[in-house]
Amino acid sequence: MRHTTILLAHGAGGKLTHDLVSELFLPTLTNDILRTLDDSAVIPTEHCKLAVTTDSYVVKPLFFPGGDIGRLALCGTVNDLAMAGAVPLGICASFILEEGFSTEALDQIVTSLQAAAHEAGVLVVAGDTKVVERGAAEGLFITTSGVGTIPEGVDMGAAHARAGDAVIISGPIGDHEVAILLARGEFSLKGTVRSDCAPLNGLVQKMLDVCHDIHVLRDPTRGGLATVLWEIAQASGVGIIVEEERITLRQEVRGVCDLLGFDPLYLANEGKLVAVVPKDKAEGILEAMREESLGREAAIIGEVVSENPGRVLLKTTIGGHRLLEPLSGEQFPRIC
């Protein structure tokens, strides 16, 4: 490890997170299942393929426009299962609480988590609660994990993109991270941007109904769209070209980005997905997505090519080209 202590950037989902995983975790824990580093791990069993996944949530503030840590924790794990094409079987939720935390706030958060579970059609089947002394944690942290079954014929993974595939995004980007930043009030900006935090398993089901042969699904959370595309290009050994003008932003998100100098391509989303699909199936899948409220603004934003393996090229609106690197540095901590 290049660093002797953990930096905030190690948790930001970009280059340093990647280094921490590949230099510290993977060499020790290494096995073929973990090594794929997909949103869910895929475990083959005698009768079926299981998807399992886990994520900790440390978002700050705990409540924000469009959601709260409970909704976020439930949706995040449901979405990681959905990104493997899995049908969720059950969700676990583990709470680390700070002594002195309000039981009323906890109740609101658990109620919101359950409402999101209902929305996603999943059950919270197991849980745990630990309490630490005042000052040893901040409010509460939630870790969710989930297990699901992957239907026969479904086989997705970041390494499965092929030259000629189309790249789809399910809607405008950046809402979640901008909503969190505005909710923190750090920039003396007020706004009405709401987090896009939502369970995507229903949308994925509609896509699979059209075509089981989806190559890659990823939700562009920490690190944003650019980092996810870079990870796919790296894992598949392909190039990806996306067109800036096809990637949409809500007007207010664009305004915040312009004002504060954020690059929306690196902002976290919690209710969007990137799909890499065979070109001849792209229109059919897109049509099915647009019939769903969570995919209403879905668009084809680019294509997979054999040139420039491992690289992502953005065709800018002014006609130039820009190489998209993974997120480097910390951007903002605790957005999920």
Residues numbered 152 to 171 that lie near a second copy (CB under 8 A) are: none
How far apart CA 233 and CA 227 sit, in angstroms, is 10
Interface positions, 51-70, toward a second copy (CB under 8 A): 52-58
Task: Characterize 160-185 residue by residue with b for buried, 16 or more Cβ atoms within 10 angstroms of its Cβ, and e for exposed.
Answer: bbeeebbbbbbbbbbbbbbbbbbbee
- For residue 297, the minimal CB distance to a second copy (Å) is 29
* Choice between 169 and 228, CB closer to a second copy: 228
CA-nearest of 18, 51, 67, 45 to 204 is 51
Asked if residues 204 and 302 have their Cβ atoms less than 8 Å apart, the reply is no
* Choice between 98 and 325, CB closer to a second copy: 98
* Choice between 140 and 298, CB closer to a second copy: 140
Provide the edge-to-edge strand list for the sheet that holds 274-277. Answer: 216-218, 274-277, 166-169, 299-305, 239-243, 312-315, 321-323
How many residues form the binding site for a second copy (CB under 8 A)?
Answer: 81
Please choose, out of 7-15, 229-237, 277-285, 297-305, the segment that lies near a second copy by the rule CB under 8 A: 7-15
Asked if residues 164 and 303 have their Cβ atoms less than 8 Å apart, the reply is yes
- For residue 158, the minimal CB distance to a second copy (Å) is 14
Q: Tokens for 331, please give them.
A: 């951007």
* Choice between 21 and 211, CB closer to a second copy: 21
- For residue 39, the minimal CB distance to a second copy (Å) is 9
Interface positions, 76-135, toward a second copy (CB under 8 A): 89-90, 92-104, 106-107, 110-111, 113-114, 117, 123-133, 135
| End-to-end CA, the chain | 25
How far apart CA 124 and CA 116 sit, in angstroms, is 11
* Choice between 26 and 163, CB closer to a second copy: 26
Give me the amino acid identity at 207: M
Q: Does 259 bind a second copy (CB under 8 A)?
A: no
Q: What is the dihedral of CA 161, 164, 170, 171, to 10 degrees?
A: 120
Q: Does 323 bind a second copy (CB under 8 A)?
A: no
Q: Does 50 bind a second copy (CB under 8 A)?
A: yes
Which of 14, 63, 120, 136 is close enough to bind a second copy by CB under 8 A?
136
Which of 45, 188, 192, 251 is close enough to bind a second copy by CB under 8 A?
45
Which of 14, 15, 40, 201 is close enough to bind a second copy by CB under 8 A?
40
Burial of 65 (0-12, 13-18, 19+ CB in 10 A): middle
Interface positions, 295-314, toward a second copy (CB under 8 A): none
How far apart CA 126 and CA 331 sit, in angstroms, is 34
- For residue 51, the minimal CB distance to a second copy (Å) is 9
* Choice between 125 and 323, CB closer to a second copy: 125
